[in-house]
């Protein structure tokens, strides 16, 4: 068992009172009082509707909220101390909270949730995002059922998203994970997901928590651990996913938690991914891709400008990361006007692979490598938006599929670069 | 007068005097049992429910009888019970196990004679054991002479003793109780060409309590048995006495008025006797049956029983504490009657649909175990013969506020036979020994009123009184012990209850208090060991004395009191300031 010393005595006492459970719902939070009340009520409704007989607990790992978030969560407990005639439940439902002694961080929060799941011997768990504005009670069921009843170890969500929502997923993570690891998981860096107690325990014991590197992009690490560990993975369609407002400044941290984590994982997972060719679907309940086509204003000009200035300002950095031919091609397209600018699929895939190889070789500080990817990704987003602006759902899906196939086709290029060091 | 005739007269006179003497002694014993000190005897009682037919057969005809019961009174005294509830023993066609009475003033010849009954009554009283008998007020058998007269013609003087109608559409808001067998509460009588009302089986026509003659007659019936010396009645199916249009015909004010009148007469002419209501209702609907201490002395707490099983399976105290939170206060002289199992199915009428489905899935996956809205199983099979769970359920039964009732055979963990129809599977012969017919009867096995249980787990070679008496760690001896400990303090029968709500919901803990005595009960509903912290700071300075072993536990202090309990373990502590 993972060393549980990072759990507070008070939290341990609460866990003792909860005792063994069948189902655990983890809710990492930090100042989420605005939404978390309705989210946690929805979670409770989902549990009461779909798992009325199971022993369940809602565990809040809070990063030091000062807005009353933990109190909102613990208030949904159902017990005999404060009987609530408006809610009928067969058994007690605990909602408990703990504040971890660190800055708000999803990695530490998830570690707390995983440790609780192991201590309580939870059979199936879900982690829900405190920002899931579109959550419904059915989400709880959709994420839990495959793990609780059908023996799956990881349940990844799929959503109905706007075609321009989640572009990091569609343009980098999904195609790259698919090409390298051979599994078609749409959302490998997922805001909400389900997992078995078995996977949770394994991951808790293996992940590199203590050196701090294991805290970043924890959701993606869990996905990759499930893939390389031979765990059973499935996808479950949840429905509409409202986009979360992000600022432009959020891109680099997000890249660290996605591309950075993926590039790092490629090192330790080389044996697992290098021999894989092609890719396989994973069992999916419902649709694996539903796109909303409503008109959406995207500031393309800003994307193009950031790409152009990035290529110009970071040329010396790119010289360390990219091959001369790729860099030359980037410089060429950076010279095109906005109307003519396109970031071709093959060039994007080569760019990403060369970044991954450079990351492995640590040609420069790894974090600088990830930061340098940001303007290029914006160029790719510009292109994706332009190419799919008038596209139907099928057109967009076909374009994504074409990108994936390109990642798969060029995989030997990455393997070759990887081996070249050796 | 010739010599023979003279001798006969002398003998008759002698016998009459002997009987008079016996009656004097019987009355004296009754007076002793009913002294003022014992006016609330039913609050301290531990009741043992049995069917004469099923208990012991003294004459080898395959059917239990009163003399057989008398022979086994020592056993019941040894067990420690203080009252016996006899299921119906009246003449009956036995189409509902005696709840279809054909003569209220006699006993079924299969069970013996009125003299035999008196003998049981007297012998029990000699042992300090009271006798509670069944009285089915609501209906008779269709073989009862009253009904035979009533149906014979529309002009018969007894016609109005039952509820008749030209249509079967009256009282349409009334539910059907025996859903598995009855389609309507009305049955067609081809003799008098009209419908008669029945809340139970169609062969059990309901009496018409709007008729004062019926009310008077039923009091006269009760009086006969009270004069004989019975200590109380379990009044069967009391919510249904009166019918009114546009109601559900249950718990009507008119019904309560009739019951209050019976109570008034009982108190006036037979003080110290007890009325126990069988009213399968929600607690709020049950409360009126106690009135202002002027209706029933006791009533079964039906909704609690399934929730005890539910709490055990869920390993969660919530179902138990919730129903008791919803249970209204009752007058101080009144008492709840608690039970785990009885002669009927484990009724699931007083639970929600979700709870009922859960109970079926957990306790009666085999659909043949289900009957009406319930589960027709005995205690031990319901609990998979898990001794720890059987003990825990009995511990809770004995320690919650109320008078516990033990169903015959459950004290040794008897099984059931679900291949027998209706509820007969839980009414099989008592298993006294591993010998012929389990020691129940000398008859040929095929003559027994019901087959003895003989499966490998619950069969009489494995489960019987003789072997359990000889085994120090048997369930019988454990039951003896828990009964003795309960009887050691009036707090269990008469004290208040205060639930503690430790954060560990698997622990059901409560304080029972009476005057200066406080007892702490802690039950672990879980199959795993549990730790619990109890807030008992207000009792700081008290030591805990574990009541089964009289061992001291550490003194209560300022900190929460930490206890660890093994799977399904219980503690009873007496609090003592030293």
- The rounded distance, in Å, linking the Cα atoms of B358 and B328 is 26
**In terms of Cα–Cα distance, which of B53, B49, B50, B76 is closest to B443?**
B53
Together in a domain, A273 and A317: no
The reported pLDDT for the residue numbered B494 is 97
Structure tokens that stand for A320 in this block: 């360390």
Per this entry, what is the length of chain B? 578
- CB-based contact (8 Å) between B425 and chain A? no
A260 & A316 share domain: no
Say which residues have a Cβ less than 8 Å from residue B522's Cβ, sequence separation at least 6: B507, B508, B509, B532, B534, B563, B565, B570, B571, B573
Query: Which residues in chain A (393-422) have CB-CB distances under 8 A to chain B?
Result: none
Backbone phi and psi for residue B115, each to the nearest 5 degrees, phi listed first: -60, -45
**Model confidence over A173-213: pLDDT tens digits?**
999 999 999 999 999 999 999 999 999 999 999 877 766 66
The encoded tokens of residue B68 equal: 């057989």
Per-residue model confidence (pLDDT) at position B20:
52
- The pLDDT assigned to B238 comes to 94
From chain B, the residues in CB contact with A91 under 8 A are: 314, 316, 318-319, 505
Q: Which of B317, B322, B528 sits opposite A83 (nearest CB)?
A: B322
Closest CA to A117 of A126, A104, A128, A129: A126
Per residue in A203-254, pLDDT (tens digit) is: 999 877 766 666 778 999 999 999 999 999 999 999 988 776 656 568 999 9
- The DSSP output letter for B39 is T
The alpha-helical segments, DSSP class H, found in B205-364 are 212-228, 253-269, 283-286, 304-314, 318-325, 353-363
Residues A179 and A317 in one domain: no
Average pLDDT over residues B318-343: 94
- For residues A31 and A87, membership in a common domain is answered with yes
Chain B residues whose CB is inside 8 A of the A80 CB are: 317-318, 321-322, 325, 499, 501, 505
pLDDT tens digits along B251-291? 999 999 999 999 999 999 999 999 999 988 888 889 999 99
Residues 6+ apart with CB under 8 A from B550: none
- Whether chain B has a CB inside 8 Å of the CB on A86: the answer is no
Interhelix angle A300-313/A324-334, nearest 10 degrees = 140
**How many Å lie between the alpha carbon of B320 and the closest alpha carbon of chain A?**
9
Residues A356 and A413: their CA atoms lie apart, in Å, by: 11
What was the pLDDT predicted at A421?
A: 58
- B497 touching A, CB under 8 A? no
The pairing of beta strand A94-99 with beta strand A290-292: unpaired
Q: Convert the pLDDT of each residue in A306-337 to its tens digit.
A: 999 999 999 999 999 999 999 999 999 999 99
A-chain residue closest to B315, CA distance? A91
- Give A196→chain B minimum CA distance, Å: 22
Using an 8 Å CB-CB cutoff, list chain B residues near A19: 315, 504-506, 526, 528, 530
Interchain contact B355–A (C-beta under 8 A): yes
Residues A20 and A127 in one domain: yes
pLDDT of residue B340: 96
Q: Which residues of chain B make contact with A14, given a CB cutoff of 8 A?
A: 503
Among partner residues B310, B325, B505, which is closest to A92 by beta-carbon distance?
Answer: B505
Domain co-membership, A67 together with A44: yes
Q: Do B505 and A55 touch (CB under 8 A)?
A: no
A16–B316 CB contact, under 8 Å: no
* Better-scored residue on pLDDT, B284 or B469: B469
Q: Which of B71, B105, B53, B67 is nearest to B228 (CA)?
A: B105
pLDDT of B556 over the 70 cut: yes
Residue A3 has pLDDT above 80, yes or no: no
CA distance B503 to chain A (A): 6
Which one of A235, A266, A292 terminates a domain? A292
* Residue B110 contacts residue B61 (beta carbons within 8 Å): yes
Tens digits of residue pLDDT in B394-422: 999 999 999 999 999 999 999 999 999 88
Nearest to B108 by CA among B164, B61, B42, B147: B61
Does A359 share its domain with A279? no
Question: Which residues in chain A are closer than 8 Å to B318, comparing Cβ atoms?
Answer: 79-80, 89-92
Domains of chain B with bracketed CATH: 138-273 (3.90.400.10), 495-577 (2.60.40.1180)
Average pLDDT over residues A33-58: 95
Most B CBs within 10 Å: which of A47, A51, A55, A80, as the mutation test of the B interface? A80
* pLDDT confidence of residue B34: 54
Q: Which of B321, B352, B530 sits opposite A80 (nearest CB)?
A: B321
Q: For residue A280, what is the domain's CATH number?
A: 3.90.550.10
Contact criterion met (CB below 8 Å) for B475 and B411 = yes
The answer to whether residue B359 scores a pLDDT higher than 80 is yes
Does the beta carbon of A94 lie under 8 angstroms from any beta carbon of chain B?
A: yes
What percentage of chain A reaches a pLDDT higher than 70?
A: 95
What's the half-sphere exposure (Cβ side, CA atoms, 13 Å) at A45?
Answer: 12
Is any Cβ of chain A less than 8 angstroms from the Cβ of B335? no
For range A373-396, the mean pLDDT: 95
Alpha carbons B545 and B556: distance in angstroms, whole number? 11
* Stated pTM of the model: 0.86
Kind of pairing, strands B47-50 and B164-165? unpaired
Cβ within 8 Å, pair B501-A81: yes
What is the percent of chain B with per-residue pLDDT over 70, rounded to a whole number? 94
Task: Check CB contact of B365 with chain A, cutoff 8 Å.
Answer: no
Task: Give the tens place of pLDDT for each residue, A255-299.
Answer: 999 999 999 999 999 999 999 999 999 999 988 788 888 888 888
Question: Quick check: is B278 catalytic?
Answer: yes
Contact list in A for residue B310 (CB cut-off 8 A) is: 90
Looking at A256, A271, A292, which one is the last position of a domain? A292
Looking at the predicted structure, is the pLDDT value of residue B214 above 80? yes
pLDDT at site A224? 96
Number of domains in chain A: 2
Using a CB–CB cutoff of 8 Å, tell me whether A81 touches chain B.
yes
Q: For residues A25-41, give the mean pLDDT.
A: 95
What pLDDT is recorded for position B365?
87
Cβ within 8 Å, pair B319-A90: yes
Predicted pLDDT of residue A173: 97
Q: What is the mean pLDDT of residues A99-122?
A: 89
Q: Is A19 in contact with B314 (Cβ distance < 8 A)?
A: no
Q: What is the pLDDT of residue A211?
A: 64
Number of CB pairs, chain A paired with chain B, less than 8 A apart = 57
Q: Are residues A22 and A79 in the same domain?
A: yes
Of B316, B526, B533, the CB nearest to A92: B316
Residues A306 and A272 in one domain: no
The mean-pLDDT minimum among A40-44, A204-208, A327-331, A351-355 falls in: A204-208
Q: Which residues pair with B189 in a beta bridge?
A: B194
| A287 and A305 both lie in a single domain | no
Q: Which of A92, A94, A95, A97 to mutate to test the interface with B (most CBs of B within 10 A)?
A: A92
Quick one: tokens of B359? 């109970």
Residue of B134, B142, B236, B295 marked active site: B236
In a mutagenesis test of the B interface, which of A91, A94, A120 is the best target, namely the one with the most B β-carbons within 10 Å?
A: A91
Helix (H, G, I), strand (E, B) or coil at B10: helix
| Partner-chain contact A88 B316, CB within 8 Å | no
Q: Answer whether B84's CB lies under 8 Å from B51's CB.
A: no
Smallest CA–CA distance, residue A18 to chain B, in Å, is: 6
The answer for A 355-384 residues in CB contact with B (under 8 A) is none
Tell me the torsion sign for CA atoms A304, A308, A313, A315. positive
pLDDT value of position A4: 55
Question: Given B44, B189, B278, B411, which residue is catalytic?
Answer: B278
Interface test with B, best of A52, A79, A83 (most B CBs within 10 A): A79
Give the 3-state secondary structure of residue B234.
Answer: strand
Selected residues 520-549 of chain B with any CB under 8 Å from a CB in chain A: 526, 528, 530-531, 533
- Domain around A358: 300-420
CB-nearest partner of A80 from B317, B354, B526:
B317
Model confidence at A422, in pLDDT bands (50, 70, 90)? very low
Q: Which residues on B lie below 8 Å from A20 (Cβ)?
A: 528
Domain boundary pick from A271, A292, A313:
A292
pLDDT band, residue A360 (cuts 50/70/90): very high
Question: How crowded is the C-beta side of B235, counted as CA atoms within 13 Å?
Answer: 29
Nearest CA in chain B to A55: B314
Distance CA B212, CA B431 (A): 45
Give the residue from chain B lying closest to A81, CA to CA: B501
What's the pLDDT band for B18 if we cut at 50, 70, 90?
very low
Instruction: List C-alpha distances in Å: A55 to A84, A90, A91, B6.
Output: 19, 10, 8, 83
SS (H, E, C) chain A: CCCHHHCCHHHHHHHHHHCCCCEEEEEEECCCHHHHHHHHHHHHHHHHHHCCCCCEEEEEEECCCCCCHHHHHHCCCECCCCCCCCCCCCCCEEEEEEECCCCCCHHHHHHHHHHHHHHCCCCEEEECCCCCCCCCHHHHHHHHHHHHCCCCCEEEEEEEEECCCCHHHHHHHHHHHHHHHCEECCCCCCCCEEEEHHHHHHHHHHCCCCCCHHHCCHHHHHHHHHHHCCCCEEEEEEEECCCCCCCHHHHHHHHHHHHHHHHHHHHHCHHHHCCCCCCEECCEECCCCEEECCCCCCCHHHHHHHHHHHHHHCHHHHHHHCCHHHHHHHHHHHCCCCCCCCCCHHHHHHHHHHHHHHHHHCCCCHHHHHHHHHHHHHHHHHHHHHHHCCCCHHHHHHHHHHHHHHHHHCHHHHHHHHHHCC
Mean pLDDT for chain A?
Answer: 92
Cβ-based contacts of B307 with chain A (< 8 Å): none
Question: For B400-495, where are the E strands, in sequence order?
Answer: 403-407
**Within the 160-189 window of chain B, which residues sit less than 8 Å (CB to CB) from chain A?**
none
**Interface membership of A52 toward B (CB under 8 Å):** yes
For residue B61, indicate whether it is catalytic. Answer: no
What are the C-alpha distances in Å from B447 to residues B52, B432, B442?
A: 16, 18, 10
Q: Does B505 touch chain A (CB under 8 A)?
A: yes
Asked if A285 and A304 sit in the same domain, the reply is no
CB contacts, 8 Å: B505 with chain A: 17, 19, 79-80, 91-92, 94
Cβ-defined contacts of B187-193 (< 8 Å, 24+): B189/B151, B191/B151, B191/B152, B192/B150, B192/B151, B192/B152, B192/B153, B192/B154, B192/B159, B192/B164
Q: Please tell me the predicted confidence (pLDDT) of residue B141.
A: 97
Band (pLDDT 50/70/90 cuts) for residue B14 is very low
Q: Does the distance separating the beta carbons of B354 and A52 come in below 8 Å? A: yes
Based on the domain organization, do A145 and A275 belong to the same domain?
yes
* pLDDT, tens only, B152-181: 999 999 999 999 999 999 999 999 988 888
**Is B131:B143 a contact under the CB 8 Å cutoff?**
no
């Amino acid at each position: 068992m993972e060393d549980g010393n990072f759990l507070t005595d008070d939290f341990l006492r609460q866990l003792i009172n909860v005792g063994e459970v069948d189902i655990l719902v983890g809710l990492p939070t930090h100042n989420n009082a605005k939404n978390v009340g309705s989210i946690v009520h929805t979670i409770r409704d989902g549990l009461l509707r779909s798992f009325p007989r199971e022993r369940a607990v809602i565990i809040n790992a809070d990063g030091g909220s000062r807005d009353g978030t933990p109190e909102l969560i613990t208030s949904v407990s159902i017990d005999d101390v404060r009987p609530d005639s408006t809610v009928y439940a067969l058994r007690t439902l605990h909602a408990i909270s703990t504040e971890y002694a660190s800055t708000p961080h999803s990695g530490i929060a998830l570690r707390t949730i995983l440790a609780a799941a192991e201590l309580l011997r939870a059979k199936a768990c879900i982690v829900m995002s405190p920002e899931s504005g579109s959550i419904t009670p059915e989400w709880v069921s959709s994420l839990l059922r495959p793990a609780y009843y059908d023996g799956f170890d990881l349940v990844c969500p799929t959503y109905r998203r706007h075609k321009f929502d989640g572009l990091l997923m569609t343009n980098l993570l999904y195609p790259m994970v698919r090409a390298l690891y051979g599994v078609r998981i749409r959302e490998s860096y997922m805001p909400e997901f389900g997992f078995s107690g078995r996977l949770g325990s394994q991951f808790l014991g293996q992940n590199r928590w203590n050196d701090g590197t294991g805290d970043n992009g924890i959701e993606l690490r869990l996905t990759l651990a499930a893939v390389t560990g031979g765990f059973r993975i499935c996808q479950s369609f949840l429905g509409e996913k409202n986009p979360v407002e992000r600022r432009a400044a959020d891109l680099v941290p997000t890249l660290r938690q996605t591309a950075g984590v993926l590039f790092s994982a490629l090192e330790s997972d080389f044996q697992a991914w290098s021999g894989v060719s092609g890719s396989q679907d994973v069992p999916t309940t419902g649709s694996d891709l539903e796109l909303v086509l409503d008109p959406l204003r995207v500031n393309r000009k800003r994307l193009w400008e950031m790409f152009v200035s990035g290529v110009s300002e970071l040329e010396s950095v790119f010289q360390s990361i990219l091959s001369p031919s790729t860099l030359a091609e980037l410089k060429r397209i950076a010279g095109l006007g906005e109307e003519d600018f396109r970031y071709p699929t093959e060039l994007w895939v080569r760019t990403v692979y060369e970044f991954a190889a450079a990351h492995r070789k640590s040609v420069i500080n790894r974090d600088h490598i990830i930061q340098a990817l940001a303007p290029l990704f914006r160029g790719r987003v510009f292109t994706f938006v332009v190419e799919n602006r008038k596209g139907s759902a099928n057109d967009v899906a076909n374009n994504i599929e074409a990108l994936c196939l390109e990642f798969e086709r060029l995989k030997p290029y990455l393997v070759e670069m990887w081996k070249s060091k050796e | 007068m010739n010599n023979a005739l003279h001798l006969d007269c002398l003998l008759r006179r002698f016998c009459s005097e002997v009987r008079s003497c016996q009656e004097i002694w019987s009355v004296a014993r009754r007076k002793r049992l009913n002294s003022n000190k014992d006016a609330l005897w039913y609050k301290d009682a531990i009741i043992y429910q049995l069917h004469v037919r099923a208990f012991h057969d003294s004459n080898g005809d395959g059917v239990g009888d009163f003399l057989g019961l008398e022979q086994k009174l020592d056993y019941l005294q040894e067990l420690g019970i203080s009252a016996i509830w006899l299921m119906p023993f009246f003449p009956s066609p036995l189409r509902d196990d005696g709840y279809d009475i054909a003569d209220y003033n006699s006993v079924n010849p299969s069970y013996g004679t009125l003299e035999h009954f008196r003998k049981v009554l007297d012998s029990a009283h000699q042992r300090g054991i009271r006798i509670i008998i069944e009285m089915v007020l609501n209906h008779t058998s269709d073989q009862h002479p009253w009904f035979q007269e009533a149906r014979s013609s529309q002009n018969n003087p007894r016609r109005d003793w039952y509820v008749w109608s030209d249509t079967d559409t009256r009282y349409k808001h009334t539910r059907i109780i025996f859903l598995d067998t009855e389609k309507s509460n009305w049955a067609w009588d081809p003799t008098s060409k009209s419908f008669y009302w029945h809340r139970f089986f169609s062969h059990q026509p309901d009496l018409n309590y709007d008729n004062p003659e019926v009310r008077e007659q039923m009091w006269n019936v009760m009086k006969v048995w009270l004069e004989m010396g019975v200590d109380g009645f379990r009044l069967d199916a009391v919510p249904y006495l009166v019918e009114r249009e546009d109601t559900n015909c249950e718990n009507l004010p008119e019904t309560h008025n009739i019951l209050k009148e019976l109570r008034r007469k009982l108190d006036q002419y037979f003080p110290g006797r007890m009325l126990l209501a069988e009213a399968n209702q929600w607690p709020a609907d049950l409360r009126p049956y106690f009135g202002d201490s002027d209706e029933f002395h006791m009533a079964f707490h039906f909704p609690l029983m399934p929730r005890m099983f539910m709490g055990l399976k869920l390993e969660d105290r919530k179902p138990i504490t919730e129903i008791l939170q919803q249970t209204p206060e009752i007058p101080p002289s009144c008492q709840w009657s608690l039970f785990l199992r009885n002669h009927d199915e484990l009724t699931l009428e007083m639970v929600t649909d979700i709870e009922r489905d859960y109970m079926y899935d957990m306790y009666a996956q085999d659909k043949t175990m289900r009957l009406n809205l319930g589960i027709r199983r005995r205690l031990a099979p319901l609990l998979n013969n898990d001794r720890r769970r059987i003990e825990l359920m009995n511990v809770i039964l004995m320690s919650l506020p109320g008078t516990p009732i033990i169903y015959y055979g459950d004290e040794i963990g008897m099984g059931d036979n679900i291949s027998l129809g209706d509820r007969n599977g839980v009414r099989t012969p008592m298993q006294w020994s591993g010998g012929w017919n389990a020691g129940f009867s000398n008859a040929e096995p095929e003559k027994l009123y019901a087959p003895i249980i003989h499966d490998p787990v619950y069969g009489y070679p494995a489960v019987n009184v003789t072997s359990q008496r000889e085994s120090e760690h048997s369930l019988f001896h454990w039951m003896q012990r828990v009964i003795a400990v309960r009887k050691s303090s009036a707090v269990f029968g008469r004290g208040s209850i205060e639930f503690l709500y430790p954060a560990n919901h698997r622990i059901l803990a409560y304080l029972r208090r009476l005057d200066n005595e406080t007892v702490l009960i802690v039950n672990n509903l879980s199959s795993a060991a549990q730790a619990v912290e109890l807030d008992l700071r207000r009792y700081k300075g008290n030591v805990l004395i574990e009541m089964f072993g009289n061992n001291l536990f550490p003194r209560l202090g300022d900190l929460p009191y930490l206890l660890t309990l093994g799977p399904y373990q219980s503690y009873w502590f007496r609090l003592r300031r030293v």
